[in-house]
Amino acid sequence: MSTISRDQVAHLAMLARIELSGQELDTMAGELPFILDAFATVGELSEADVPGMSHPMPLTDVFRADEPAPGLSASEALSGAPEAQDDRFAVPRILGED
């Protein structure tokens, strides 16, 4: 098991932009070696014949096929509009001519 000093934990916390109290620095200095050893153990288990994967189970596409849905015609959609022009809603200009 490697040892990590309190100063190293403080430096890592500064790089990660994490503010830790003095007690938290001491706690993390004691816990980080165990965490790093766990990662090292997992790294030892990796085998060359195991392909890399993003998910342990095969994923299937859950989307439905695109099908046209009934909707409003242009005239039906514009029937309640206060003003229409060229089969579109007419709205006041909010930007200048520039």
Question: pLDDT band at residue 93, thresholds of 50, 70 and 90?
Answer: confident
pTM for this prediction = 0.44
- Which domains does the chain show, CATH number per domain? 6-45 (1.10.20)
Half-sphere exposure of 79 (CA within 13 A, CB side): 5
Cα separation, 33 vs 44, in Å, equals 16
Tokens standing for 70? Answer: 């009934």
Contact between 36 and 44 under an 8 Å Cβ cutoff? The reply is: no
Quote the pLDDT of residue 16.
95
pLDDT tens digits, 34-75: 998 988 887 777 666 777 778 888 888 778 888 888 998 888
- DSSP per residue, 83-96: -EETTEE-----S-
| Three-class SS state of 88 | strand
Tell whether the model's pLDDT for residue 85 goes beyond 80: yes
